[in-house]
Amino acid sequence: MAGPAHVLEAANPAFYAAVGGGRRERTGVPLADLMPELGDQGFIALLDQVYRSGERHVGRDARVVIGTGADAREAYFDFTYEARRDAGGNVVGVRMIGVETTQVKHARRLAAEQRALLEQIARHAPLPEVLDGMCRAIEELSPDVIVSVLLADDDGRHLRHGAGPSLPGFYNQAIDGIATGEGVGSCGTAAHRRRTVVVNDIATDPLWDDFRDLADRAGLAACWSTPILARDGRLLGTFAMYHRTPRAPQDSDLALARVFADTAALAIERHHAEQARLAADAREKAARDDLAFLLTASTALAGRLDERQTLECLAALAGPALAPLAAVDVVEAGRVRRVAAAAPTEQARDLLQAHTPARGGDEAVDRVLASGLTEVARRTPTGPGPWQELGVTGYVCVPLVDRGRPFGTLTLLSTGEHCFDGHRIALAEELARRAATAARNARQYAQRAAIARDLQSGLLLPDLPDIPGAELAVFYHPAGEGLEIGGDFYDVFRRDDGSWAFILGDVCGRGAKAATTTALVRHTARAVAPLLDDPVDIAKAVDKALNDRNAHQNNGFVTLVYGHLAPAADGLTVHLVRAGHTVPLLLDAEHTVAAVEAPGGLLGIGIPPRLTGHRFTLRPAESLLLYTDGITECRAAGTGQYGDTRLAEALASAPPRPAAAEILRTIAEDVRGFLGGGRDVEDDQAALVITAVEPTRGAGAGGVAGSRDTSGMPACSRGRRSPVGRRTGEHEKPINWEGRDRGDDDRADR
């Protein structure tokens, strides 16, 4: 385009095809004359701006209405306006480059609409809600469209109102019940013909002769109606798209109508199937109610992993569904104990809860526990009890059986006109059977969790030792619900030469195998530590022990950081080796974070690892952080991993001259903030902090031991907890990821 009038000088065939072709396939005229509709849409003003300023303009997914009246169509383009310049650099025109994205836009819109509709159908929403949601979803994305749905009667001869949230109420009421047939508007005709009927101008189309005044009152000028058909060809209804101005449909409109009609057919067919099912269920109401009750009970019972809660849930389910009053008794240490009761009022519940049947007496509970058989009576139970106060007229006592032996009973008590029939007794027995199974599962779960906790506790240090000139703090958070032994481990112990050994690692896998591997690694390291001075040799000994355990079985692999720690005049001497583990981080007194590089391969994979030791001095107020990948690889919903960079930033944000426990508190709080406060993680998390301190700081010879905290919060020194401060940026320092040697010879460089 040339000059301030944007005279079209040249264009490729794609341009002419996009703008409508025909009389527009010409050059030498201003663009505003060729496409006058662009003026009101702001595109001519954009050209003027580029021409005046010479600055490039880029538009993405821009909406353009091309043409006018009934020939108008909606299109979308990615385009660029660039200034054209002469040899002297003066702007002489504008070059436009565009890519039409209309089809992509329509495809996205269709996908979004269909997804919204299918989600409503999938959650089994009522049909009116589904249809109303469909209409509103389409109208939200296409503001110039008004959507209506009519549902066909069983005989297919009439159409009833289904949804039309944006149509006037009088209009919906007037067309509710219209007949299907030729000339009955767009919808009646489409239902009759079983194909789409397009009326671009209601005012002139003969199909609307009987409804033209009604449409005029409602402000409707065009209507395209698509029949909604079942898979077998039956008429289910119609879907209509109205416009307030005469308009012909575009391909995208017809595609949207087809998608909607097909999806609406799914919703309507599902609704019909549901109605048929409900009709059949009405003939068998008792059986359906029983099944629903048992399914609800099973879900409620299975959701509890505590035996007492399971039995309390049993009492709540039984009363009042099966009887006005219900009680659950169990045998513990040879005595009967009432663990739960249900009643209409709190006073009645307290009376029933306070009564405990005596073992060895003439009571139904005792007899049922002895026989394992259900007992039924239309009278008050034998033996003492609050039967008169509660108005009891009969009872059913059902055993709770585990592996063929009763361990408790469910007692149902009737009052007033309530009575037990065979159907209700059978239901009580089935409920008791399911509850007994759930209680056994809860008991086994509790036992397994206790075993896992005890074994995990046995694999970890109860307390960290005191090390002269050092503070230690550890953080341990196992993944899952505690049913399996975690794969992360740590250990700190004294060597014969007065130095200290520390180790933190990760075993491949979980459970008993991980526990045995953890024990093998720790015990091997402790066994050879007095005999070998080089951490590399100790890591190789661990690798040999792992490979020798069972040469013909894949035992998984182990990653770890092992090192020796010894007090020195200027801090702590550290000599460590890293075997395939996450890189340790060093926090110096200026709050600069550096990676401690020590290349090394995995242990226990049958290939001799190539390991390199690393020596450096940890000076007072400097800290060494060891951690497992459960911290850096944890994920929050909808986000990426926590990552090494964020861990380094959290480490750098610790308070000035922090204690070891303060560093762990800072990191744990940042991890919890990243996870949105959630405590469940997919992998175990462990961290060990070693902080060098002045000889006068701490207890004894300067050693301060942190304590283990498996709750996800690092404990303070000596096991005392302190409030956790919120992370701020005032102490954040630049992060050094060079991984350079931290020996004495680089101190001057720093």
- More confident: 499 or 122: 499
**664 and 599 co-located in one domain:** yes
pLDDT, mean of residues 294-322: 83
Percent over 70 (pLDDT), the chain: 87
Cα angle for residues 504, 506, 512 (degrees, 5° grid): 120
- Rounded average pLDDT over 194-198: 94
Q: Is the pLDDT of residue 11 over 90?
A: yes
Confidence band for 70, pLDDT divided at 50, 70 and 90:
low
Q: Is the pLDDT of residue 568 over 60?
A: yes
Would 722 be classed as within a structural domain?
no
Query: What's at 297, amino acid-wise?
Result: A
Q: Are residues 343 and 439 in the same domain?
A: yes
Is 80 exceeded by the pLDDT of residue 113? no
Question: Are residues 267 and 329 both part of a single domain?
Answer: no
Q: What average pLDDT does this structure show over 87-109?
A: 88
* Residue 292: band (very low, low, confident or very high) from pLDDT cuts 50, 70, 90: confident
Q: What is the number of other CB atoms lying within 10 angstroms of the CB of residue 516?
A: 15
Q: What's the distance, CA 223 to chain centroid?
A: 43
Domain-located, residue 373: yes
- Interval 237-272: pLDDT, tens: 999 999 999 989 888 788 878 888 888 899 899 888
Same domain for 330 and 442, yes or no, is yes
Q: The CATH number of the domain where 63 resides is what?
A: 3.30.450.20
**Do 110 and 259 touch, CB atoms closer than 8 A?**
yes
For residue 111, what pLDDT is reported?
77
> Token pair of 204, please?
């002139």
Same domain, 79 and 137: no
Asked whether residue 716 is domain-assigned, the answer is: no
DSSP 569: T
The CA distances from residue 581 to 78, 494, 738, in Å, are 48, 23, 18
Q: Percent of the chain scored above 90 by pLDDT?
A: 48
Domain membership flag for residue 712: no
Q: What is the pLDDT of residues 128-156, one digit of tens each?
A: 988 998 888 888 777 789 999 999 998 88
- Give one word for 257, left, alpha or beta, with left for phi > 0 and alpha for psi -120 to 50: alpha
Is the domain of 680 the same as that of 535? yes
* 62 falls within a domain: yes
Strands 325-332 and 405-415: antiparallel
Q: Tell me, yes or no, whether 64 and 135 share the same domain.
A: no
SS3 412: strand
590, two tokens = 């200026």
> Do 55 and 149 sit in the same domain of this protein?
no
Quick one: average pLDDT of 550-556? 60
- The pLDDT confidence band at residue 463, using thresholds 50, 70 and 90, is confident
Q: How far apart are CA 557 and CA 578, in angstroms?
A: 14
Same domain, 445 and 467: no
Distance of CA 130 to the CA centre of its chain: 25
Query: Cα(648)–Cα(623) distance, rounded to whole angstroms?
Result: 13
The mean pLDDT value for 101-124 works out to 76
Question: Using 50, 70 and 90 to split pLDDT, how confident is the model at 451?
Answer: low
Q: How confident is the model at residue 224 (pLDDT cuts 50, 70, 90)?
A: very high
pLDDT at position 283 over 70: no
CATH number of the CATH domain containing 384: 3.30.450.40
Give pLDDT, residue 85.
Answer: 94
Give yes or no: residues 492 and 603 share one domain: yes
- Of 229, 257, 275, the one marking the end of a domain is 275
Query: Is the pLDDT at 373 greater than 90, yes or no?
Result: yes
Whether the per-residue pLDDT at 407 is higher than 70: the answer is yes
pLDDT at 443 over 70: yes
Estimate the crossing angle of helix 102-122 against helix 127-141, to 10 degrees: 160
User: pLDDT for 24-33, tens place per residue?
Assistant: 889 999 999 9
Sign, Cα dihedral of 372, 373, 378, 379: negative
User: Total structural domains in the chain?
Assistant: 4
Residues 539 and 463 in one domain: yes
The pairing of beta strand 704-705 with beta strand 470-477: parallel
As a whole number of Å, the end-to-end CA separation of the chain is 62
pLDDT digits (tens, 9 = 90+) for 410-430: 999 999 888 888 878 988 999
Q: What's the rounded mean pLDDT across residues 319-332?
A: 89
pLDDT at res. 678:
62
pLDDT above 60: residue 701: no
Q: What is the DSSP string of 704-724?
A: EEB---TTSSPPPBTT---PP
Contacts of residue 357, defined as CB under 8 A and 6 or more positions apart, other chains included, come to: 329, 336, 338, 363, 364, 365, 366, 383
Decide if 409 contacts 399 (C-beta within 8 A). Answer: yes
Predicted pLDDT at 683: 78
| pLDDT at 494 > cutoff 90 | yes
The last residue of a domain, from among 413, 437, 454: 454
For CA atoms 399, 400, 402, 405, give the dihedral sign.
negative
Q: What is the mean pLDDT of the segment spanning 74-86?
A: 92
Q: Tell me what pLDDT residue 105 has.
A: 80
Tokens of 560: 């770890």
> The domain containing residue 11 runs over which residues?
7-102
Q: Are 75 and 219 in a shared domain?
A: no
**Structure confidence at residue 453 (pLDDT):** 60
Return the amino acid letter for 583: V
Q: CB of 717 within 8 A of CB of 465?
A: no
Does some domain include residue 350? yes
pLDDT confidence tier of residue 458, bands split at 50, 70 and 90: low
Nearest to 136 by CA among 153, 113, 115: 113
Say what the pLDDT of residue 304 is. 64
Kindly report whether the peptide bond that precedes residue 320 is cis, defined as omega within 30 degrees of 0: yes
Span 573-615, pLDDT tens digits? 999 999 999 999 999 999 999 999 899 999 988 889 999 999 9
**Per-residue pLDDT tens digits for 610-631:** 999 999 999 999 999 999 998 9
Neighbours of 41 (CB within 10 A): 15
- In the numeric block, the tokens 């009152």 are attached to 217
Q: What is the pLDDT of residue 255?
A: 80
Q: Which of 179-183, 478-482, 683-687 has the highest mean pLDDT?
A: 179-183
Residue 670 counted as domain residue: yes
Output Rg (C-alpha) for the chain, integer angstroms: 39
* End-of-domain residue from the set 650, 668, 692: 692
User: Which has the minimum average pLDDT: 229-233, 291-295, 334-338, 396-400?
Assistant: 291-295
Give the CATH number, domain containing residue 549. 3.60.40.10
CA distance 144 to 148: 14
Q: Would you say residue 738 lies in a domain?
A: no
423: Cα within 13 Å, side-chain hemisphere? 8
**Is the pLDDT reported for residue 274 higher than 90?**
no
DSSP 8-state code for residue 36: G
Q: What is the pLDDT of residues 499-509, one digit of tens each?
A: 999 999 998 87
